[in-house]
Structure formats: C-alpha cells, structure tokens
Amino acid sequence: MSATLDANLFCSFFNDAPLVSVPGRTFPVSTYFLEDLIDATDHIIEEGSRFAIRETYYNEKASLWVTNRGGEKRKEVVDLVSQTDVSDVSDLFPGYKMSTRRSMDRVNQEVINFDLIEDTLNLLLDNSERNYSLLPPDGADLSKGSILVFLPGKS
C-alpha cells in the first residue's frame, strides 16, 4: 500500500471518519532492484543452488532393441532425458557484469535469498568503503538511518 494518500477523500469514503494527523516529514529513499544488489555485492547464484530455477527436464520413453554379445536381442524401454540449454546468457541486463547477467538468468525470484540480503547489509554497513554502486539518496544522513527490505509474501 502506498504511504501517500488523499486523507480527506479517504475519510469521506468512511462516512466522514475523524482524521488524526501526526506531524512528521518524508525521508529520501533510493530504490534498488535485484540486479543492482547482485552486481554491487558480487553475489553469484550458482546452477543448482537453492536460489536458482531448477533446470527443466523433458522425459520421454522409447523402446529399443538391445543385442548382447551372444547375439541375443531383447526389447528395453528407456528414458530419453534432454536438458534446456542454460549456457546462453540473455540480453535482458545490458550494462551489468557477466556474473550478474548469468545470476539473473538463473535466479528464482520466488525464493527469498537470505544470503544476498546478508551480503547487501554487509556491503552497506561493514564494507562501505568498497561500495561504489549502492549510493544513498541526496540529503541522506548515513550516520542515522534505516534499510527497508521488501520481501515477497507467500500465497
């Protein structure tokens, strides 16, 4: 839900409900996306990782005649397994490092990657001297502040 709304319109919708106003101010916010965090932290999502999309397999069965050394033939049913080719890197994230582009091709965005969250917090809080890409918004006081992480919900 957005933090901004037309308070009078909202109150009138609820039959002129009373309005309580708390004085305050807005704070500058920077928005970063998954690819920004992966790129800045050098986080890599390996093939087969619990944070990666599992490779798709297509199973088909086939009947084959197998001949043994004695010339005897027998019919066997075998599984033919083919894998999707994950060696190609998509062009969806130009301007990012190759490792980031490969990770973005693999990432399962339905799984919360706590390791990436930890790497991001480590970069922002413990290794701020090597942080060149996750810049604070203009006017932000880095000595006091908060980090807001939106996590997807499960349906």
Residue 142 inside a domain? The answer is no
Do 116 and 92 form a contact (C-beta atoms < 8 A)? no
Establish if 147 belongs to a structural domain.
no
Domain of residue 98 covers: 28-53+86-130
Q: Is residue 48 a part of any domain in this protein?
A: yes
**Chain centroid offset of residue 154 CA:** 15
Give me the phi and psi of 135, to 5 degrees please.
-85, 145
- Tell me what pLDDT residue 116 has: 93
**Does residue 121 lie within any of the structural domains?**
yes
User: For position 4, what pLDDT does the model report?
Assistant: 65
Q: Give me the sign of the Cα torsion angle 78, 79, 80, 85.
A: negative
Number of domains in the chain: 1
4 domain-assigned: no
Distances (CA, A) of 124 to 96, 102, 153: 20, 24, 25
Tell me if 132 sits within 8 A of 72, measured CB to CB. Answer: no
In a domain, 18, yes or no: no
Q: Strand, coil or helix: what is 77?
A: strand
Report residues of the chain scoring pLDDT below 50. Answer: 1-2, 57-58, 82-86
